Amino acid sequence: MNQILFLTSWCIPFYGLIGALFTLPWAMGLIRRTGPRPAVYFNLLTTVLAFVHSLFVFIDIWNTEPQSFLITWFKAVDFDLSFALEVSPVSVGATVLITGLNLLALTYALGYMEKDWALARFFALMGFFEAALSGLAISDSLFLSYALLEMLTLSTYLLVGFWYAQPLVVTAARDAFLTKRVGDLLLLMGVVTLATIAGSLNFSNLYEWAQRANLSQTTSTLLGLALIAGPAGKCAQFPLHLWLDEAMEGPNPASVMRNSLVVAGGAFVLFKLQPILALSPVALNALIIMGTVTAVGASLVSIAQIDIKRALSHSTSAYMGLVFLAVGMQQGGVALMLLLTHGIAKALLFMSTGSVIFTTNTQDLTEMGGLWSRMPATTTAFVVGSAGMVTLLPLGSFWAMLGWADGLAFVSPWVVAILVLVNGLTALNLTRLFRLIFWGKPQPKTRRAPEVGWQMALPIVTLTVITLLLPLMLQQWYLLPDWESINWIVMTLLVSSTVLGIGIGSSIYLHKAWSRSRVLTWRFLQDLLGYDFYIDRLYHVTVVGAVALFSKISAWSDRYLVDGLINLVGFAAIFSGQTLKYSISGRSQGYMLTILIGISLLGFFVSWSSGLFNKFLF
């Protein structure tokens, strides 16, 4: 039985795809009499099958060497288009995480979107999400990974614009799609370049090629930057980070997956591209700079947001910045550890905040307060998710941060400073959110806010338990360091930053009606962070302004130069025709004389140009 499951492990992505395809008749309105519930249950069933299948395979192949499957799609003469799949503890473990979190998100969506008229369409899109992410996890081909990233981009566009009757939602979906297109276009250039110079797009072949590759500095730099651009757009990294903030206009169950796993998909591809990126020191430095700027900048921006989902989404960009920093420093194991711990904790945070939004019908933090006694399960989930995000012993992020900082304490101490700063700002932001949402006096929208139903409470409680048990799982997988090897100075710094962030977040003045400070200095700082350092306005002045100017120049030249030239030729033809019609006499002798004169003149010019007259004149 285990052998059959292992040999069919390449089918895991097709469970979600089958569920999505069979949901389409309800999603498209072809079946209405039964309502959307059959489609929902069918999609849940396929997700359960995918989770069980991947879990059994993961248990069976634990502590075994990775194995590859090669699926040939098209082969003719020298053209061979095949897809390579890798079955390893890392790839299959990723599918377990993806299918498990998607199962919890779908169960959560049963309660969150119970009365939504397009419930079947939402579950179909979530099935596409699961299929693309699962395929990305086991893909051993850069070509297949690129195609699946495009599938994720399309799913993101459709899910962000799910409530398409709202103009702001349509704008957010469009901006998210176009922003990702910038990075995907550059990534496609890198894929085509690798296919030309390396001869293969399978990661195993690319690793062998990278060991003997002899590229010029310019080629390796451009190739590395192109390969970075795609994951940067998917992970909402500077300067392609604005889309994740706007993508929070979509349904919250989709935001759970987007902020925990979808952004991690681009980082996972970046992790697999490490040997190719190592060919260019400039590309590695670009990763380090991009990750550092995003981690620090997004952490600062998150503390000034008054929208609950946007405050958490900027935190997602910050932690993905830490992942980029880890990959840039060739710390691949640390990057995977961060992706695992962050994904689980952030999914729990978005589920708990989604419950708050569901019961209060608002995302504005200034309209919340006093929910801890009315929603105890949600409050507990938020506290546990927040603790799992920061370096609080003994939860998962503590070990991920400690293992990274411990190894770089003496080699690159500035990295430890970045980790301490980001961790402290994250603790401050989460403490601020807790006070505004759950503490204080109840507001008009929170006075009668009940706890959520079992469809939403079950996945929240399950994920809370998983977050608390994650350190035991890491210990079973031998991923925790020994106490004897721990750098106590680094550990003290990280824990102190958490305590300091919690202390500042607990003591700063937070007034519900406070939107802008009366002190000009604080107002400027608040606006600077609240509007994301005015980067969107900078883009409008520079990039958007330049495109608008060039479009106006193009429109002017098209209207007055191109159209003017064509109109001139047409006018000349009309004028010539109108003029010639008056020379028509109807006499054949005149026509013959005109033809004779024309042929004579033509013959004269041809003879003169060929030099025949020179023989007679000289």
AA letter at 104: L
Q: Which residue has tokens 């606006």?
A: 527
pLDDT of residue 584: 63
- Please say if the pLDDT value at position 408 is more than 80: no
pLDDT in tens, 176-188: 888 888 888 888 9
pLDDT in tens, 46-99: 999 999 988 888 888 877 777 877 777 777 666 667 778 888 888 888 899 999
Query: How many CB atoms are closer than 10 A to CB 30?
Result: 8
Q: What is the pLDDT of the chain when averaged over all its residues?
A: 83
Do 471 and 394 touch, CB atoms closer than 8 A? Answer: yes
Do 375 and 451 touch, CB atoms closer than 8 A? Answer: yes
Q: At what angle do helices 119-138 and 89-112 cross, to 10 degrees?
A: 170
Do 122 and 109 touch, CB atoms closer than 8 A? Answer: yes
Residues making up the chain, counted from first to last: 618
pLDDT of residue 518: 67
The mean per-residue pLDDT over the stretch 285-302 comes to 90
Least confident interval from 72-76, 258-262, 305-309, 369-373: 72-76
Q: How far apart are CA 267 and CA 179, in angstroms?
A: 17
Angle at the Cα of 379 from the Cα atoms of 377 and 381, rounded to 5 degrees: 70
Do 42 and 1 touch, CB atoms closer than 8 A? Answer: no
- Please say if the pLDDT value at position 595 is more than 80: no
Beta bridge mates, 83? 71
User: Residue 55 class from Cβ within 10 Å (0-12 exposed, 13-18 middle, 19+ buried)?
Assistant: middle
Identify the three-state secondary structure at position 80: strand
Going by C-alpha positions, the residue among 486, 495, 488 that lies closest to residue 403 is 486
Higher-pLDDT residue of 91 and 29 is: 91
Can the peptide bond before residue 481 be classed as cis, meaning omega within 30 degrees of 0?
no
Beta bridge mates, 328? none
- Please say if the pLDDT value at position 360 is more than 80: yes
- Please say if the pLDDT value at position 517 is more than 70: no
Q: How far apart are CA 201 and CA 191, in angstroms?
A: 8
Higher-pLDDT residue of 617 and 113 is: 113
Q: How far apart are CA 348 and CA 465, in angstroms?
A: 10
36: DSSP letter = S
pLDDT of residue 430: 92
Residue 87 phi/psi, 5-degree rounding, is -110, 105
The encoded tokens of residue 518 equal: 């009366």
Higher-pLDDT residue of 410 and 534 is: 534
Q: How far apart are CA 97 and CA 340, in angstroms?
A: 8
536-559 as b/e, with b when 16 or more CB fall inside 10 Å? eeeeeeeeeeeeeeeeeeeeeeee
pLDDT of residue 111: 86
- Alpha carbons within 13 angstroms on the beta-carbon side of residue 541 total 5
Q: How far apart are CA 302 and CA 305, in angstroms?
A: 6
Residues 6+ apart with CB under 8 A from 267: 231, 234, 235, 320, 323, 324, 327, 335, 339
The mean per-residue pLDDT over the stretch 527-544 comes to 79
The mean per-residue pLDDT over the stretch 584-606 comes to 73
Residue 40 phi/psi, 5-degree rounding, is -65, -45
Beta bridge mates, 81? 74
Higher-pLDDT residue of 462 and 618 is: 462
The encoded tokens of residue 440 equal: 């204080």
Beta bridge mates, 307? 364
AA letter at 52: V
User: Residue 421 class from Cβ within 10 Å (0-12 exposed, 13-18 middle, 19+ buried)?
Assistant: middle
Query: How many CB atoms are closer than 10 A to CB 119?
Result: 21
pLDDT band at 611 (very low <50, low <70, confident <90, very high): low
Going by C-alpha positions, the residue among 106, 107, 97 that lies closest to residue 125 is 106
Query: How many CB atoms are closer than 10 A to CB 319?
Result: 28
For the chain, the structural domain boundaries read: 1-140, 169-530, 535-584, 589-618
534: DSSP letter = G
Highest mean pLDDT among 190-194, 199-203, 213-217, 515-519: 190-194
73-107 as b/e, with b when 16 or more CB fall inside 10 Å? eeeeeeeeebbbbbbbbebbbbbbbbbbbbbbbbb
- Please say if the pLDDT value at position 615 is more than 60: no
Q: How far does Cα 194 stand from its chain's mean position?
A: 23
The encoded tokens of residue 396 equal: 């998962």
Query: How many CB atoms are closer than 10 A to CB 575?
Result: 10
- Please say if the pLDDT value at position 277 is more than 80: yes
Residues 6+ apart with CB under 8 A from 611: none
pLDDT of residue 382: 92
> Terminal CA-to-CA distance of the chain, rounded, Å?
104
Identify the three-state secondary structure at position 84: strand
Q: How far apart are CA 591 and CA 339, in angstroms?
A: 88
Do 354 and 361 touch, CB atoms closer than 8 A? Answer: no
279-297 as b/e, with b when 16 or more CB fall inside 10 Å? bbeebbebbbebbbbbbbb
pLDDT of residue 384: 92
Alpha helices in 62-166 (DSSP H): 89-112, 119-138, 142-160
Q: How far apart are CA 157 and CA 142, in angstroms?
A: 23
pLDDT of residue 425: 92
Q: How far apart are CA 49 and CA 55, in angstroms?
A: 10
The mean per-residue pLDDT over the stretch 481-492 comes to 76
pLDDT of residue 402: 79
